């Protein structure tokens, strides 16, 4: 079965169901979840994006350098996604950093029933470092070997269904566009799709005399999320998903050694200090995904993001006079 068949059979129906649920207007329990009356939320942020991948065959760890910067964005109440733009600052004007091209985007769509994330990442140019007993031998980037022609593209889509949707708000926990009033949590289950393409030199293992590697993983996941409310204004959020992915969906039948099963892990955490018109928060994302090309050829992806955010709510609805 080709990747097109998988997309038609599984991804398209799941996407249709997802967006239908996003449009749901059925209210949650107002004793547990507060809906803000504003139409628009504006945010400013500073961020750190961490990314590396390990080649199982060579044992080398590949690092695209440091990625820090600032950004701004907005969220409109009747659109399920928020939007932001970013400006990277790390490495500018410093001779020890090689010139790099990077793309790191995250689309978030959270409703009462579903929570979905799409991660789009592209990196050009990597430093290499040895890995011993799962610990990377970092020195300084200036002392590490640089591979300018190594390029990686990733598209990861992760969706989950929220069982306790009456009392728990994923949106309140990770974005502060709603507010959790009483501590509550929920079990979740869902599906994920991971696409990866690597263009490289001979540093990485060659498959069928080609150093251009690509793979597609499709899997299922399950986990738990919880909002812990303490004090008058504080919310602590955590979410973890464990998944099992099927690899090699893009391989031709004559080259395919069979479907290979590999685990994945998705973690999110956040702390919010909430006021009526302002929220100050710290969020983090950590994803671990295995991409398998053959039984002994695999790449381990570690993706991290930390953001410090300040959100201002604007354009409140006027309350009708009785």
CA–CA distance, 230 with 214 (Å, rounded to integer): 46
- Look at 165 and 295; give whichever has higher pLDDT: 165
249 within a domain of the structure (yes/no): yes
Say whether pLDDT at 8 is over 80: no
151 within a domain of the structure (yes/no): yes
Q: What is the DSSP letter of 252?
A: -
34 within a domain of the structure (yes/no): no
Weakest mean pLDDT among 5-19, 63-77, 152-166, 274-288: 5-19
30 within a domain of the structure (yes/no): no
DSSP H helices, 7-151, are: 12-22
Give the pTM. Answer: 0.81
136 within a domain of the structure (yes/no): yes
Q: What is the mean pLDDT of residues 104-122?
A: 85
Residues 6 or more apart whose Cβ sits within 8 Å of residue 84: 43, 45, 71, 72, 73, 74
CB 10 within 8 A of CB 218: yes
- For 4-65, give the DSSP string: HHHIIIIIHHHHHHHHHHHT--PPP-TTTEEEP-EEEEEEEEEEEEEEEEEETTT-EEEE--
322 within a domain of the structure (yes/no): no
Q: What is the mean pLDDT of residues 110-121?
A: 88
Nearest to 279 by CA among 309, 306, 316: 309
Cα–Cα distances in Å, from 141 out to 39, 64, 136, 202, 302? 45, 10, 13, 22, 18
Cα–Cα distances in Å, from 7 out to 1, 185, 256? 10, 31, 19
Q: How many domains does the chain have?
A: 1
90 within a domain of the structure (yes/no): yes
CB 186 within 8 A of CB 165: yes
193 within a domain of the structure (yes/no): yes
Domain holding 51: CATH number?
2.40.128
CA–CA distance, 110 with 131 (Å, rounded to integer): 37
Q: What is the mean pLDDT of residues 186-211?
A: 75
Cα–Cα distances in Å, from 105 out to 120, 168, 177, 240? 5, 26, 20, 21
Q: pLDDT tens across 17-54, in order?
A: 555 555 444 567 889 999 998 899 999 999 988 888 87
- What are the backbone angles phi and psi of residue 248, rounded to the nearest 5°? 75, 30
* Domain extent for 150: 3-23+42-316
């Amino acid at each position: 079965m080709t990747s097109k068949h998988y997309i038609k059979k599984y991804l398209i129906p799941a996407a249709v169901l997802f967006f239908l649920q996003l449009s749901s207007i059925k209210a949650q329990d107002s004793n547990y979840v507060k809906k803000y009356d504003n139409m628009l939320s504006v945010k400013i942020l500073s961020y750190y994006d961490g990314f590396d991948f390990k080649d199982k065959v060579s044992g080398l760890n590949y690092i695209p350098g440091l990625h820090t910067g600032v950004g701004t964005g907005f969220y409109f109440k009747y659109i399920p996604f928020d939007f932001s733009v970013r400006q990277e600052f790390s490495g500018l004007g410093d001779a020890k950093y090689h010139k790099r091209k990077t793309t790191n985007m995250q689309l978030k769509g959270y409703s009462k029933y579903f929570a979905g994330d799409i991660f789009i990442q592209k990196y050009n140019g990597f430093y290499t470092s040895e890995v011993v007993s799962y610990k990377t031998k970092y020195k300084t980037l200036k002392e590490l070997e640089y591979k300018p022609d190594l390029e990686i593209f990733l598209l990861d889509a992760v969706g989950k269904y929220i069982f306790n949707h009456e009392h728990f708000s994923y949106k309140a926990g990770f974005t502060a566009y709603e507010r959790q009033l009483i501590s509550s949590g929920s079990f979740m289950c869902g599906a994920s799709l991971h696409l990866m393409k690597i263009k490289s030199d001979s540093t990485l293992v060659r498959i069928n005399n080609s150093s251009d590697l690509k793979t597609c993983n499709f899997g299922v996941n399950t986990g738990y999320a919880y909002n812990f409310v303490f004090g008058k204004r504080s919310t602590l959020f955590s979410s973890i998903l464990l998944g099992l992915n099927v690899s090699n969906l893009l391989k031709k039948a004559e080259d395919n050694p069979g479907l290979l099963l590999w685990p994945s892990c998705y973690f999110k955490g956040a702390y919010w200090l909430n006021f009526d018109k302002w929220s100050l928060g710290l969020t983090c994302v950590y994803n671990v995904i295995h991409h398998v090309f053959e039984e002994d050829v695999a790449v381990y992806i570690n993706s991290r993001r930390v953001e410090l955010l300040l959100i201002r709510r604007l354009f409140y609805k006027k309350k009708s006079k009785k």
